[in-house]
Structure 1
């Protein structure tokens, strides 16, 4: 688990949005769909708060609200889905949904979806549903950002507040992850180490190269989750 958190945190520092994309499929693979998603939500929430302290001046409150309200309204459907679907099938669903979302990000400009006010509402709802079911709400809002021409700096700042709200809401709805103090300490240590590693690497890694590496790792983890679900978890 620690390695998934470390790599995810480093990716988040490099790209602004990579923690859950990378860590969630790997945490689901290591601990199962329910605990894995909850750990991803809780650790992503901590990451969002740490980064928000650095970029809060770039936050666009109105855009955050436009995404966050429909995201929170989508929670009940996501929570019901996560509780109603058997664990192996949920792992397959999480992995397949993750791969589809990641591939959609790759072709976001050609897809031409999530434009304007309605696009923000749709992206927020999809993101909220995917956050509570699969732990990855980033692809939908990334597609919206690309389609709406949201500037990178404002997006990176605003998205930390957005995901602090959404990941925090998911943890409040589900409860804290049932892990011991030593295990929690190790995960937080990996989180801190990953953020420091990302900060050290940032001047030496081109943003596009970092994004492509993060997507490749996330797709690999998602496919492994599908395989584990198909073989009975």
Structure 2
């Protein structure tokens, strides 16, 4: 691991943590495509799961009073059911197709999220929650991106931003723990080859990003933060998709 590569990873993690604290999601969307390019498909997605687990766990205790635990249960149980087989499948997918999957999933998720913001459709009932949770579990395991399906549900269910952002934190912790446990059990060699001091720096960047996000939250509206995340994630996803296609052709 070169110093330059580590610096890029640290910057990406720091910016992702800021987005996660301000908007409640965006960490994975923002950094998943870039980490796939930098660390490879399997290592990049696993890295996203690790960082997402840490950032959501830290944020969760800051927003505890706003968490809707009933909503959490309806999302989390189906997500766990989807995560386990998807994690096993992701372990055995070759690197080229994985990069294509990551890029395509993020691009599709972003596009659907943008379309959902313009719709007047309203969904009700527990079935929609379960579907959103299941899809989130699958996409998190395969591409490191679990937010778009629950975000689309939130938009169509008219779920207020504060409890939505708070409830996603224990939800992301849950699916990250399940995914990491499954993947590392099947293939311990997937973990990115960082030294202990590098992992410590990554943890510091997550903490620093969360702190910076709390300070910036006073001046940045949620819709502005989400718009910035979408723009950056679009570029990153397109780059990951292109890299995967090049790897497949080569």
What is the TM-score normalised by the length of structure 2? 0.88
Kept after mapping to 1: 8 A contact 2:84/2:178: no
Counterparts of residues 55-204 of structure 1 (less than 5 Å): 55-109=63-117, 110=119, 112=121, 115-175=124-184, 177-178=191-192, 179-204=194-219
CA apart distance, 1:113:
8.0
Alpha-carbon deviation of 1:206? 2.0
Corresponding position of 2:16: 8
- Write out per-residue CA displacement over residues 162-211 of structure 1, whole angstroms, 9 at most, x where no aligned residue: 11111121122223734320221121122122222222222222221111
> Displacement, 1:111?
8.3
Alpha carbons 2:110, 2:234 under 8 Å: kept: yes
Aligned length: 233
Instruction: Write the deviation string for residues 46-82 of structure 1: whole angstroms up to 9, x where unpaired.
Output: 1111111111111111110101111110123312331
User: Aligned to 2:243, which of 224, 228, 232?
Assistant: 228
Structure 1: 5+ residue stretches without partners: none
Q: Distance in 2 between matches of 1:67 and 1:114?
A: 15
1:32 correspondence with 2:53: no
* TM score, norm. by length of structure 1: 0.94
Structure 2 SS opposite 1:125: helix
- Conservation of the 8 A alpha-carbon contact between 1:113 and 1:144: no
Q: Deviations over 1:88-137 (max 9, x none)?
A: 11101110111000111111152848642111111111000011110010
Matches of 1:36 and 1:114, distance apart in 2: 34
Query: Unaligned stretches of 5+ in structure 2?
Result: 1-8
